[in-house]
Amino acid sequence: MLTNMLTLDFIREARERIAPHVHHTPVMSSRAFNAIAGREVWFKCENFQRGGAFKMRGAANRIFALDAQERARGVAAFSSGNHAQAVALAARDAGTRAVIVMPQDAPRAKVEATRGYGAEIVFYDRQRDDREAVARDVAERGGGLVLVPPYDDYHVMAGQGTCVLELLEEVQDLDAIVTPIGGGGLFAGASTVAKGVSAGRIRCFGVEPETGDDTRQSLHAGERMTIPPPPTIADGARVQSPGALTFPFVQKNAEDVLVVSDTELIEALKFLLFRLKILVEPTGALAVAVALFNKLPADVRRVGVVISGGNVDADALARIVKE
């Protein structure tokens, strides 16, 4: 059974392993938010994580679990988003080499941030090249770099789950947790923790943008479905199909996968910014929007929501706040 690898103990080990390299992020709540949501909501604020997103947890767990020979060679990843920065940062902490493969048209701010963490960047042409083939080529030519996948890896999933381990220690008696779903790594780790510490009692919900609901479709179909590139503002959830290794955890642990519109996402982002005074990226506000727009079952009274990241550039933010 595929889901045997990812256990509560394996995630507890991950926490020990990554503790020196990640922030124990704060949990926030808001009376004003709860009044609108009609339930008690706790936000696990991974926008305050190193690198600006929960991705640091999984990357650090993967890289610090490498053996000495692997660590001597270095790592590679393909990402233009938060995973790239996380791998660069964790590799720097580990004193190892990181090569990040990015599309030529990646936002310059993300390229610079990743390079700023000491990674080498290799560009590819989105139209012409297959990015996984490019990454494999880079890994081989680099003398056997170890690929750090963004979600389809048990160490990565376990690392991501550690944020919910922290949340459930800090807030007692939650009925449910809600996390965004891109490739499904965060949901896999988080739901394994929630089910594991509560003997299955805590209910687990995933959230996707309504135009990018590949995991919801897959859950309903009973198999992994592929959708066209979704046009959503939630760039971390523009994945076209759930991960091969993560999807079994959606099937096993998700009560439902909910969806929110981009308009709802932006409202949630603005509430967090102007009322709670925290900056959250659109993908990071997915689970918050589910609570704000009352999409959870009525008997969910106390809910933990993962805010997955806070990396937004100035131009995008200026557009969003004026909407």
In the complex, the residues that contact a copy of itself under the rule CB under 8 A are 26, 47-48, 52, 270, 273-274, 276-280, 310, 312-315, 317-318, 321-322
Give me the least distance between CB of 278 and a copy of itself, in Å please: 6
Residue 180 identity (one-letter amino acid): P
Give me the least distance between CB of 321 and a copy of itself, in Å please: 5
Active-site residue, from 44, 55, 110, 195 = 55
Contact 51, 159 (CB under 8 A): no
Count Cβ atoms within 10 A of the Cβ of residue 188 and give its class: 0-12 exposed, 13-18 middle, 19 or more buried: buried
Give me the least distance between CB of 284 and a copy of itself, in Å please: 10
| Helix 154-170, helix 8-18: angle, nearest 10 | 90
Annotation marks residue 218 as catalytic: no
Give me the least distance between CB of 210 and a copy of itself, in Å please: 24
The residue count of the chain comes to 323
Alpha-carbon distances of 122 from 49, 80, 89, 216, rounded to whole Å:
26, 11, 17, 33
Give me the least distance between CB of 317 and a copy of itself, in Å please: 5
Q: List the structure tokens of 86.
A: 């996380």
In degrees, to the nearest 5, what angle opens at C-alpha 150 toward C-alphas 303 and 54? 40
Stretch (H or E) spanning 315 = helix 314-321
Report the residue number, 163 or 257, with the smaller CB distance to a copy of itself.
163
Active-site residue, from 44, 79, 80, 110 = 80
Q: List the structure tokens of 47.
A: 């926008």
Report the residue number, 280 or 291, with the smaller CB distance to a copy of itself.
280
Give me the least distance between CB of 118 and a copy of itself, in Å please: 14
Report the residue number, 73 or 270, with the smaller CB distance to a copy of itself.
270
303: which strand partners? 41, 176
Report the residue number, 23 or 136, with the smaller CB distance to a copy of itself.
23
| Helix 262-274, helix 314-321: angle, nearest 10 | 100
Q: DSSP labels for 16-40?
A: HHHGGGS----EE--HHHHHHHTSE
Report the residue number, 23 or 131, with the smaller CB distance to a copy of itself.
23
Location of structure tokens 């959250």? 280
Annotation marks residue 55 as catalytic: yes
Beta strands 98-103 and 75-78, pairing class = parallel
Contact 81, 106 (CB under 8 A): no
> Which of the residues are catalytic?
55, 80
